[in-house]
A and B are shown apart, each in its own frame.
Chain A
């Protein structure tokens, strides 16, 4: 309870709280839900009656107490002891508030893992000390990289099953560190843990006296908050244009940069140019600027025909506009991504028909082995480099420049089936086809 009390004092004092999203990933049965359940239990974050309710379910079904059931709420999940879909739970330390995202580790539910992980600021990647690095351990590591999650701490769990052996810990650590280094990912820490026994989760005991690093709880507070995007170029994708009253309001969310009244702005790809007359909000303090993350409206000094999909930038610092892009994609659909296949690509609020012009370098995400180059299709759970032709030009940036404008999803029929990050385009000057 001590942790919560500190939080309460902070909140009462009116301190602004920072929230961080942490995803827990790793192979099925390596103990992700158990770790989260244990973290909650040990920090007194579980509501009254919940522990007892789970104890009752376990008793009724003849199982030992299962911390994972604090999160795995579905009957099917509890019966089979497997997380089907991502769960999110709230929890606080004296430093900040956390949303803990418990992602499924089964290969079949990779789309749910991506759903959970995509909104995370940092990740805990779990490995069973006894089983060591497995298929999803590698695949999840790879997907974290593709999703742009740079902060990773590796938790080596079930140390109780290997007698808290330092040798086992070091072996798993060096094997996985080597894998991550090939992805250019540098984990912050490797932590030996027993989630079931509560060792190095919220507290230490003598079992791992050879380990002098942080507990899982301490490691969370050591992640750095995602930095603000104010110093990036202005990008505001237009969501809609409203005319509910006299005002003609262009609505959208500022994704990066700062928008100010009086700014000369360019709409891409339509190439209209105008001057911001007002920034519109309802029942909010009057401010003549808007920050990244703000859903606002703007009016222009003269009427222009603006539509959803246009991207607002400063006239002197526009996004790329092009009809061919090269990207890394990860595929989640049951139907394969086919070379020559037609799909819909969605980037911010833009939607455009597209055709896969070429597939190069298909990689099995679990092994990092090349499945082949010049391939004709990408199967579920594979990643590939692709070239995509768009039916008309869109506005975008490279993923490494402005994340929100450099990533897209691919829709196959009605199904969102994959995601991608833009490497270059025909508009980018540093690439020659």
Chain B
């Protein structure tokens, strides 16, 4: 056998390759599949990985759930990339709840359920999607740490975290009963700092809100009323990576809905939250 110049997959290559493998499995196995794009760094990296997986194309439609409470700069960024990258975008809104005045003042968990989970549920039903790709990661919080790459949701959108299917050797749950759908999580094995190192290596555009202005920046992006900024002077991707090496605070500490209750994320996610 010929000897190759000493080369092996580097750590970011390995993360990327596993995600590409999962995206291709999902695309092959599900006819009606969409990818959730929150406009944040993770789902933007996911979108980039889809273009890697499909050699510059993104054959999977993107779904954005608009709570109308997003920070305006996020929507501008979204619309710019849709044009530049020639993406197919479907925007979902829970019009009924919005008309009835739903907002975080009605209770943060109630609001997340209505404007995110239910809006997503309505859109999935309308478009008849049977699979949805999301950019969640295991290191974000405790219930996500227990997720599978391919995770079934029942007809009520619920996640049965007490009885998940086994998943090993990259053989995934792609056979399923009708009326259920599958959540696909290609970034599950990435950590927050991995995402930023990859953004740096690939030069992936991200929304400007992540970078410091007047001594503050967003570390995690969500709806304006429930997402806080952290004190930070990190004005570039390099600065952010440096900052993350040194921080001991968790990424979602600024997300108000997580702090509502010890098991807030478990309750939200059991009902179909991202």
Contact between B17 and A293, CB atoms less than 8 A apart: yes
Which of B54, B139, B142, B146 has the most A CB atoms < 10 Å from its CB?
Answer: B146
Contact between A49 and B249, CB atoms less than 8 A apart: yes
A332 to B52: give the CA distance in the assembly, Å.
35
Shortest distance in angstroms between A235's beta carbon and chain B's nearest beta carbon? 14
Residues in B with CB closer than 8 Å to A8 are: 245-246
Given A89-B139, A89-B145, check contact A74 B266 (CB 8 Å): yes
Contact between A75 and B266, CB atoms less than 8 A apart: yes
Q: Give the residue of A75, A85, A115, A230 whose beta carbon is less than 8 angstroms from that of B263.
A: A75
Contact between A73 and B166, CB atoms less than 8 A apart: no
Of chain A, the residue at the smallest CB distance from B173 is A416
Of chain B, the residue at the smallest CB distance from A258 is B4
Residues in A with CB closer than 8 Å to B169 are: 118, 404, 407, 409, 419
A11 to B175: give the CA distance in the assembly, Å.
41
Contact between B249 and A47, CB atoms less than 8 A apart: yes
Interface residues of B in 231-274 (CB under 8 A from A): 242, 245-246, 248-250, 253, 262-263, 266
Contact between B53 and A53, CB atoms less than 8 A apart: no
Of chain B, the residue at the smallest CB distance from A4 is B245
A88 to B168: give the CA distance in the assembly, Å.
14
User: What's the count of A-B pairs with C-beta under 8 Å?
Assistant: 170
Given A73-B143, A119-B168, A242-B54, check contact A48 B20 (CB 8 Å): no
Of chain A, the residue at the smallest CB distance from B177 is A414
Interface string of A58-82 (1 = CB under 8 A from B): 0000000000000101111000000
A44 to B262: give the CA distance in the assembly, Å.
22
Say yes or no for A338: interface residue by CB 8 A criterion.
no
A308 to B24: give the CA distance in the assembly, Å.
11
Contact between A16 and B11, CB atoms less than 8 A apart: yes
Say yes or no for B105: interface residue by CB 8 A criterion.
no
Shortest distance in angstroms between B37's beta carbon and chain A's nearest beta carbon? 19
Q: Give the residue of B59, B161, B175, B253 whose beta carbon is less than 8 angstroms from that of A244.
A: B59
Stretch among A194-202, A275-283, A422-430 lining the B interface = A275-283
Query: How many residues of chain A get a CB closer than 8 Å to chain B's CBs?
Result: 76
Interface residues of B in 166-217 (CB under 8 A from A): 166-169, 171, 173, 175-177, 189, 191, 202
Say yes or no for A253: interface residue by CB 8 A criterion.
yes
Contact between A12 and B54, CB atoms less than 8 A apart: no
Of chain B, the residue at the smallest CB distance from A8 is B245
Residues in A with CB closer than 8 Å to B52 are: 281-284
Shortest distance in angstroms between B248's beta carbon and chain A's nearest beta carbon? 5
Shortest distance in angstroms between A202's beta carbon and chain B's nearest beta carbon? 17
Contact between A50 and B250, CB atoms less than 8 A apart: yes
Residues in A with CB closer than 8 Å to B166 are: 111-112, 114-115, 332, 416
Given A249-B55, A297-B55, check contact A291 B9 (CB 8 Å): yes
Interface residues of A in 342-361 (CB under 8 A from B): 344, 346
Say yes or no for B225: interface residue by CB 8 A criterion.
no
Interface string of A26-53 (1 = CB under 8 A from B): 0000000000000000001011111001
Given A16-B10, A244-B54, A297-B55, check contact A85 B164 (CB 8 Å): yes
Say yes or no for B141: interface residue by CB 8 A criterion.
yes
Shortest distance in angstroms between A337's beta carbon and chain B's nearest beta carbon? 14
Shortest distance in angstroms between A143's beta carbon and chain B's nearest beta carbon? 11
Given A74-B266, A253-B17, check contact A48 B24 (CB 8 Å): no
Of chain B, the residue at the smallest CB distance from A17 is B11
Shortest distance in angstroms between A354's beta carbon and chain B's nearest beta carbon? 14
A419 to B266: give the CA distance in the assembly, Å.
30
A411 to B263: give the CA distance in the assembly, Å.
34
Say yes or no for B28: interface residue by CB 8 A criterion.
yes
Residues in B with CB closer than 8 Å to A114 are: 166, 168
Interface string of A235-270 (1 = CB under 8 A from B): 000011010110101010100001010000000000
Residues in B with CB closer than 8 Å to A165 are: none
A249 to B14: give the CA distance in the assembly, Å.
21
Residues in A with CB closer than 8 Å to B13 are: 293-294
Q: Give the residue of B25, B51, B146 whose beta carbon is less than 8 angstroms from that of A282.
A: B51
Say yes or no for A211: interface residue by CB 8 A criterion.
no
Given A88-B138, A244-B55, A295-B53, check contact A49 B167 (CB 8 Å): no
Residues in A with CB closer than 8 Å to B266 are: 73-75
Contact between B262 and A47, CB atoms less than 8 A apart: no
Q: Give the residue of B14, B142, B202, B246 whose beta carbon is less than 8 angstroms from that of A293.
A: B14
Say yes or no for B57: interface residue by CB 8 A criterion.
yes
Contact between B168 and A240, CB atoms less than 8 A apart: no
A293 to B57: give the CA distance in the assembly, Å.
22
Contact between A409 and B55, CB atoms less than 8 A apart: no
A284 to B59: give the CA distance in the assembly, Å.
20
Which of B2, B20, B191, B202 has the most A CB atoms < 10 Å from its CB?
Answer: B20
A289 to B177: give the CA distance in the assembly, Å.
41
Interface string of A97-125 (1 = CB under 8 A from B): 10100000000000110110011000000
Shortest distance in angstroms between B169's beta carbon and chain A's nearest beta carbon? 6
Say yes or no for B1: interface residue by CB 8 A criterion.
yes
Which of B191, B245, B246 has the most A CB atoms < 10 Å from its CB?
Answer: B245
A89 to B13: give the CA distance in the assembly, Å.
21
Of chain A, the residue at the smallest CB distance from B188 is A88
Residues in A with CB closer than 8 Å to B145 are: 71, 73, 87-89
Contact between B59 and A115, CB atoms less than 8 A apart: no
Residues in A with CB closer than 8 Å to B263 are: 74-75
List 23 interface pairs A-B (beta carbons < 8 Å), by A numbering: A8-B246, A11-B245, A12-B242, A19-B14, A44-B248, A48-B248, A48-B253, A73-B145, A73-B146, A86-B146, A88-B189, A111-B166, A245-B57, A253-B20, A260-B2, A280-B55, A282-B52, A291-B7, A291-B8, A293-B9, A293-B13, A414-B175, A414-B176
Q: In the A-B complex, list the 8 residue pairs whose CB atoms are closest, starting with the nearest.
A: A73-B142, A118-B168, A111-B166, A295-B20, A47-B250, A85-B146, A244-B57, A409-B171
Using A48-B249, A73-B266, A282-B52 as known contacts, list a sample of 5 further A-B pairs with CB atoms less than 8 Å apart, ordered by residue number in A: A74-B266, A84-B161, A111-B165, A239-B21, A294-B17
